[in-house]
Amino acid sequence: MSRIFVRILWGIVGVILIVDGIFCFTQPAAVLLAMSALLGVSMLLCGVVDLIIFARGRQLMFGAGGFLLDGILTVLLSLFLLFNQGFTALSLPFIFGMWLMFSGISKFVGSFDLKVLGVKGWGWFTVLGVLLAAAGFFSFLDPVAGAVTMSFLLGILLILQGITFILRAVFVPRLFR
């Protein structure tokens, strides 16, 4: 798999996630009505990209197992969101928080692999991992209030995930052996 293909794929996903995040700020009422579908599709896209990158570059990349694990869990959670709309509306703050915490912890741990490899900018992944994990934790504290403010929180977190994918696109040559 070429580095250019990986860069383009991560860059496209990053831009889509940022656009989704901006939409959450501009149309909060619409987002509240379609939040589980929007989150499910966004998560499915992230998970599939991680699985594709693992499948195409596992022998060439450091830390490829993290992409596999993150991809599988993200795809499973996204399918749950997409096919259980009624239950999802009640449990969305918990599912969303669980995804954010796992994704944040995964990025936090992976950032230290980048440090060992001497990748400049590894600290950005550490910071983003901490922010994502903290946001996931805070979504568990008050699920009722979390449901009311979910569109704004979702917008912020989709933008953070988009930034993470764009950072991957920028630093991808350093991830390959």
Q: Are the beta carbons of 172 and 13 closer than 8 angstroms?
A: no
Task: Kindly indicate the confidence band of residue 15, based on its pLDDT and cuts at 50, 70 and 90.
Answer: very high
CA distance 40 to 165: 17
pLDDT at 63 over 70: no
pLDDT digits (tens, 9 = 90+) for 146-176: 665 677 878 888 899 899 889 888 876 666 6
Of residues 129, 37, 30, the one with CA closest to residue 78: 37
Count of the separate structural domains present in the chain: 1
Whole-model pTM: value is 0.53
Domain that holds residue 106: 3-175
Section 82-95 average pLDDT? 73
Percent of the chain clearing pLDDT 90 (strictly above): 11
CATH number at residue 72: 1.25.40
pLDDT digits (tens, 9 = 90+) for 110-151: 888 888 888 888 888 899 999 988 888 877 786 666 665 677
Q: Which residue has the tokens 């764009």?
A: 166
